[in-house]
Amino acid sequence: MGRITLDKVAKSFGDVEVIPPLDLTIEDGEFVVFVGPSGCGKSTLLRLIAGLEDVSSGEIRIDGEDATSVPPAKRGLAMVFQSYALYPHMSVRKNIAFPLRMAKLDAAEQSRRVEAAADVLNLTEYLDRRPGQLSGGQRQRVAIGRAIVREPAAFLFDEPLSNLDAALRVGMRLEISELHKRLETTMIYVTHDQVEAMTMADKIVVLRAGNIEQVGSPLELYREPRNLFVAGFIGSPKMNLIGGEIAEKHGAPTIGIRPEHVTVSNEAGEWHGTVGVSEHLGSDTFFHVTCDGIEEPVTVRVGGEVDLHYGDKVWLSPDPDHLHRFDKAGLRIA
């Protein structure tokens, strides 16, 4: 079980309010991702849930019970740190067994659980090595192993993949998702990488300066961003945000259109522009088109190979069904 409820939880460091009062419910078995720009308070929020920081006000409930002043070890949560925080002088086996040893489990049960965790994470052959003799990905797995042997109510991950190279990151991303499917335990995952958020989450919590901007499934956030911040943050490449007269024509101070919802034509269309830099990814091509009356170049996605070159004149038309409108305050107009 692992249902976590935050009730008006706030955190200040001295005079600085890092997290204004905030409500959030994380259902049992959910994979929740906290995402937001650097310094927005993601780690702080996670540490509040873990109990490593005290809340300034508000209440944290785990499975319905008030855990606000329960010490971290008693909350039944396991955390995987960004730096892995492995114990360098202990072998992998001892690292993974450490929480069990602290819980005074008998030796047979300890080794049974360690072997089982090592088996799940493909660490069996490294059990007698020290963390210093492992690669980054292996260390990451040891850190996860140390978390899963405790059979916690929920896992907390603080940017666990940010120290890995791109290829390994994709691999570990899948492994963690796989692990979640298998264990069906609540996981809270902090990242500033919106691709990780989109691919792994059941539910994304977008944070800005300690405020929750929107909570929802990846596709909800993608299809119906509640405000300009979420619209610009979720999706890669970013949504085109256009203001001025062109937006007025569509009846809003600002409009947004995703790159895949713009059609390109040589003959006719709504906006006229010049092709700038293009990015060829093989499956897709992204063109940055400078249009008359639009400040920023408009990014357009075209499937496969297209015969367009730097300096070509083209016409762009946004798909009206996928046009997002935002009011003066930056909120979505339904």
Partner 1 sequence: MATQHSRSAARLMMTPAVILLLGWMLVPLTMTLYFSFKRYLPMRGDSLERGLDWVGFENYVRFIGSSSFWPSVQATLLIVGGVLVITVVLGILLAILLDQPFWGQGIVRILVIAPFFVMPTVSALVWKNMMMDPVNGMFAYLWRFFGAEPVSWMSDASVQSIILIVSWQWLPFATLILLTAIQSLDSEQLEAAEMDGAPVLSRFFYIILPHLGRAITIVILIQTIFLLSIFAEIFVTTGGSFGTRTLTYLIFQRVVDSQNIGLGSAGGVYAIILANIVALFLMRIVGKNLDQ
Ligand X SMILES: Nc1ncnc2c1ncn2[C@@H]1O[C@H](COP(=O)(O)OP(=O)(O)OP(=O)(O)O)[C@@H](O)[C@H]1O
Q: Which is nearer to ligand X, 82 or 317 (CB)?
A: 82
Please pick, from the candidates 69, 83, 124, 290, the single residue that binds partner 1 as defined by CB under 8 A.
83
* Minimum distance from residue 78 beta carbon to partner 1 (Å): 7
Q: Which is nearer to partner 1, 96 or 206 (CB)?
A: 96
35, 26, 67, 30: which is closest to 50 by C-alpha?
A: 67
* Minimum distance from residue 37 beta carbon to Mg ion (Å): 11
Query: One-letter amino acid identity for 181?
Result: K
- The footprint of ligand X on residues 172-201 (CB under 6 A) is 192
* Minimum distance from residue 126 beta carbon to partner 1 (Å): 17
Options 13-21, 72-80, 129-137, 254-262: segment touching ligand X (CB under 6 A):
13-21
Residue 314: contacted member of ligand X, Mg ion, partner 1, none (CB under 5 to 8 Å, by partner type): none
Q: Which is nearer to partner 1, 77 or 241 (CB)?
A: 77
Distance (Å, whole) CA 226 – CA 217: 13
Q: Decide: 147 and 139 in contact? Cβ < 8 Å.
A: no
Number of residues that bind ligand X (CB under 6 A): 12
Q: Is 43 in the site for Mg ion (CB under 5 A)?
A: yes
Give the chain's length: 334
* Minimum distance from residue 199 beta carbon to ligand X (Å): 18
Please pick, from the candidates 77, 123, 207, 247, the single residue that binds partner 1 as defined by CB under 8 A.
77
For residue 77, give the H/E element and its range: strand 77-80
For residue 78, give the H/E element and its range: strand 77-80
Binding mask 13-52 for partner 1 (x = CB under 8 A): -------------------------------------xxx
Q: Is 44 in the site for Mg ion (CB under 5 A)?
A: no
- The footprint of ligand X on residues 24-53 (CB under 6 A) is 36, 38-44
Q: Decide: 117 and 152 in contact? Cβ < 8 Å.
A: no
Query: What are the DSSP calls for 124-181, one per residue?
Result: GGGTTS-GGGS-HHHHHHHHHHHHHTT--SEEEEESTTTTS-HHHHHHHHHHHHHHHH
Distance (Å, whole) CA 190 – CA 82: 10
Q: Is 78 in the site for partner 1 (CB under 8 A)?
A: yes
Residue 173: contacted member of partner 1, ligand X, Mg ion, none (CB under 5 to 8 Å, by partner type): none
**Dihedral (Cα; 19, 23, 28, 32), 10-degree rounding:** -50
Q: Is 145 in the site for partner 1 (CB under 8 A)?
A: no
- The footprint of partner 1 on residues 210-249 (CB under 8 A) is none
Distance (Å, whole) CA 136 – CA 132: 10
Within 10 Å of residue 108's Cβ, how many Cβ atoms?
Answer: 8
Q: Is 134 in the site for partner 1 (CB under 8 A)?
A: no
Task: Taking each helix axis as running N to C, give the angle between helix 92-102 and helix 136-148, from 0 to 180 degrees, rounded to the nearest 10.
Answer: 20
Which residues contact Mg ion by CB under 5 A? 43
Residues that bind partner 1 (CB under 8 A): 50-52, 71-73, 77-79, 81-83, 85-90, 98-99, 102-103, 130, 146, 150
